[in-house]
Structure 1
């Protein structure tokens, strides 16, 4: 794919010369080629590409004609994975509205902040989250000026039935949508403070989807099983938009459960998987999974956390015909920044791959100097896939965006061949008496221990050294001792990296996206 230089968001970026200008146009290209093909399958229902196009335009028409939604206004959705989520996403794309996908696991206080900070005009929810929505309605200051829509088989007082949105026509005064326009506000997890609404653009989402297609060689035969939440970029962009853009089929699970996942994997002849490592670890612990092979699967992608090498090796025996892709990205990069290529030397196995096309990355050390090859520094990222900034957040934009680059907060290195290696989160780096220790290095080593199922390494306060290393471990079936773990690390790493404390737990705290919550551990 040929790249050319262009100006967006006051940045000089590399963009694909041949690209759809909006997400709506990207979908329409698939509709023209595959009108009667199944686009989405969810909970026994299916929708073709033409139906997806028509129904999403009906929803868009209702927003414009009945609710007076204008370009740039926000629509918050508190929904599980389903066809309705997909219709709302594309409806917003058609009319230039901004979708605010809310994490359904958050408490009312957190959701209240996101709805209020985004000044959403419409809120859409379903029966499962109706109690939470009701409590929100009681405290939202501008509730009387908001429209609330409910996905439900039964009518509820004060809520517009979602089915009403599909009863009218699909013609509205065409809104001019530009590729630089926002399509989503996806709020960061907020584990270190107030959540920040990352402004995802049509430009960013389109380049992300195109890069996935290029690196992973997906096409109209691709069938993906989406078990991660659509309110995260992996599900929304890495799977839904990406696979629909190539004319494939998306099978949606409302949430991940092992037995239904395995049933759909075989029944729907899934070819493409993209999950957080936690899901793959859970699959390997299931007897029904471990006794079989899944020859239909051609791609196994993973990201969001380190994947133990033992897990990769075991998965390869169950997916014998699949290519494995480690990926690295964030909400702020519209999902991908680097993706492992199809073929690479074994020596690169610890890498998160090569930067995607159009990505400009560099490493900056503690003194603000740009790092050279194999030097260690914070990863800065610029490109067409990077968000414009944070919604109404002057401080966040000042601190996180510098000279057009997003400051990722990840400590990394780049080797002589351009492969990227993530060493740690900047905030998770441990400083023991002046020695910088990367927790990920110790975690990766401990995953090689035959009796370690999961591990997290954190720094804890110490009077003498300032910080010392602590390992929190979920053992497998065999019992483990603190001395055994210390000896294992001491034989392989410098003595100052050996955990001073080891704690054994039944599980590690994670969010719904599978990300480890180290702040809780600390």
Structure 2
């Protein structure tokens, strides 16, 4: 159904930087994700795992789900999907949902049959969801049971000819989609029905090519693209994380070990995002820990969850960390159980890092670096250190090979800046049905990250700048080209360029430089109020058509011409510098 470029092994003889630890257990290449997690043992996994430790804990009700219950529920749902909906090997199922205890069950049930999962942001607009449905060729949806999600899903499904009966709901049934069954009902039915489905078994080596996920990323440029992730990639990254963190080794005292069976991790990162999917969900379960599943992030609610469930491990993104440092509710928060904080998706500032350490003086605190294209983490702070070095994305993880390419094409040495290019066993296959974009990012199984870094002699990676165009807003990727396309649909816009500007809470936010349409320019000349009205209309246009984190929080600036090179490419860096200068000028004016 999907095509990706055939990536052959690298033939280059260029020097490379290897991770400090290279010896790690074999990565099984004949297992699906649920077979690896639910059915087999592995040398990197804690053995024996803590008896009686729940895998999932529902934040609201406190209900717990153990491994065997989840395994049985997965089997039952797979049975119903096969029998009632004729889902077969290779079919794509889209999950449009907030975190839910049945979210992994839905993933694993589809994988048992041989299907492919694509997770989507439940705050998407109808247009955004339609785009992902069309790009993945999905024929079936699991949808969160709230009014907004169901309404959006039904409208998008109508556009791509998915009948309402092929929408299945997390949680209770809804009058908004009366033909939709619920996962709970299907699981109960599947448990008492005769087994009819045929579980997908992989031949040796097939795990490296058998699709598991179509997870969306904007790559280094352009609109969001479906990253084709095979089963082997997720399994490989889980094992890399396990070995790097020595989760099955008594390398220090029990009290000071980073991950311990029976610890409790917060599950507030969205499972549709690669960070939440691989590290917060699959790795934590592999480590024999519990996950408190939280559907929607609310900071005060998160503090209550930490106290209620005695959560030990926080996996967060920078905006959430900023709240830990600045929110007034912290004055009375019961956070004494927290002993580990991992931050990913974007860098932390020095000031925030210092504040976090003061608030949690005894906790393990650090950052990791990764991409959807590498099926998440490629670096994490060294296991020998309780704290990651400020500004460091972490140490290269086991199995990782890196190059740092200078502008002249030669390879940088230690502590020299350049473009980071990564090779990892967890690499994706490429972008589905997008050969041009695949060739731009995936070169002979190396991934061109689009980030400027330096690597020191300890194999730690320090991210210096983003060479790629993509912005990171609250940990989410935002493609300027996508917003520019939306802006050009506005009648007052003749040309546009979107850049990211720094923001203390979100990391960065989108700002638009707009060339007004000729008639609009005349209106602004004739009426001083027109400029503000047009700006407000442009901002509202984006808000009406895009998910919240893509809104123009940085505002709109009018400009006479968008700078471009002779070939017509936007000189985005020029306007990024201009935007930051404007931002500083505004800040000075407020003093």
- TM-score (normalizing by structure 1): 0.78
1:37 aligns with 2:53: yes
Between stretches 26-35 and 272-281, larger displacement belongs to 26-35
Could you say which residue in structure 1 is the equivalent of 2:179? 158
1:200 aligns with 2:216: no
Three-state SS of the structure 2 residue aligned to 1:50 is helix
1:195-344 alignment, distance < 5 Å: 195-216=224-245, 217-292=258-333, 294-344=335-385
CA displacement at 1:23 relative to structure 2: 1.9
1:17 aligns with 2:21: no
1:73-472 alignment, distance < 5 Å: 73-128=91-146, 129-140=149-160, 142-144=161-163, 147-155=166-174, 156-169=177-190, 171=195, 172-177=197-202, 178-180=206-208, 181-189=210-218, 192-216=221-245, 217-292=258-333, 294-344=335-385, 348-427=389-468, 456=508, 467=574, 470=577
Distance 1:453 1:10 in 2: 42
Three-state SS of the structure 2 residue aligned to 1:235 is helix
Aligned residues: 451
For the 8 Å contact 1:121–1:146, the answer to whether it is kept is no
Distance 1:159 1:504 in 2: 52
1:499-510 alignment, distance < 5 Å: 499=581, 502=584, 504=586
For the 8 Å contact 1:428–1:458, the answer to whether it is kept is no
CA displacement at 1:194 relative to structure 2: 2.6
For the 8 Å contact 2:313–2:340, the answer to whether it is kept is yes
CA displacement at 1:225 relative to structure 2: 0.4
CA displacement at 1:322 relative to structure 2: 1.1
Q: Describe the shift of the 1:365–1:457 C-alpha distance in structure 2 as closer, same or farther (beyond 3 A).
A: farther
Three-state SS of the structure 2 residue aligned to 1:194 is coil
- TM-score (normalizing by structure 2): 0.69
For the 8 Å contact 2:317–2:345, the answer to whether it is kept is yes
CA RMSD of aligned residues (A): 3.3
Distance 1:470 1:190 in 2: 23
Distance 1:173 1:184 in 2: 20
Q: Describe the shift of the 1:191–1:335 C-alpha distance in structure 2 as closer, same or farther (beyond 3 A).
A: closer
Between stretches 232-241 and 11-20, larger displacement belongs to 11-20
Q: Describe the shift of the 1:200–1:457 C-alpha distance in structure 2 as closer, same or farther (beyond 3 A).
A: closer
CA displacement at 1:195 relative to structure 2: 1.6
CA deviations 1:314-338 (Å, max 9, x no partner) are 2223223211121101111111011
For the 8 Å contact 2:325–2:359, the answer to whether it is kept is no
Give the gaps of 5 or more residues in structure 2: 1-5, 11-17, 42-46, 246-257, 471-501, 514-561, 565-570
Distance 2:423 2:311 in 1: 34
CA deviations 1:454-488 (Å, max 9, x no partner) are 7759998789x983764878xxxxxxxxxxxxxxx
1:51 to 69, 73, 79: 69
Q: Describe the shift of the 1:455–1:164 C-alpha distance in structure 2 as closer, same or farther (beyond 3 A).
A: closer
Q: Describe the shift of the 1:401–1:290 C-alpha distance in structure 2 as closer, same or farther (beyond 3 A).
A: same
CA deviations 1:402-438 (Å, max 9, x no partner) are 1211111111111232211111111359xxxxxxxxx
Give the gaps of 5 or more residues in structure 1: 1-7, 430-445, 474-498, 506-522
Three-state SS of the structure 1 residue aligned to 2:430 is coil
For the 8 Å contact 1:233–1:331, the answer to whether it is kept is yes
CA deviations 1:30-50 (Å, max 9, x no partner) are 799567431111231321111
For the 8 Å contact 2:144–2:169, the answer to whether it is kept is yes
Could you say which residue in structure 2 is the equivalent of 1:66? 84
Between stretches 108-117 and 211-220, larger displacement belongs to 211-220
Q: Describe the shift of the 1:86–1:306 C-alpha distance in structure 2 as closer, same or farther (beyond 3 A).
A: same
Distance 2:141 2:386 in 1: 49
For the 8 Å contact 1:36–1:49, the answer to whether it is kept is no
Distance 1:260 1:98 in 2: 33
- Structure (1/2) with the larger strand percentage: 1
Q: Which has the higher contact order (CA 8 A, sep 6+)?
A: 2
For the 8 Å contact 2:266–2:293, the answer to whether it is kept is yes
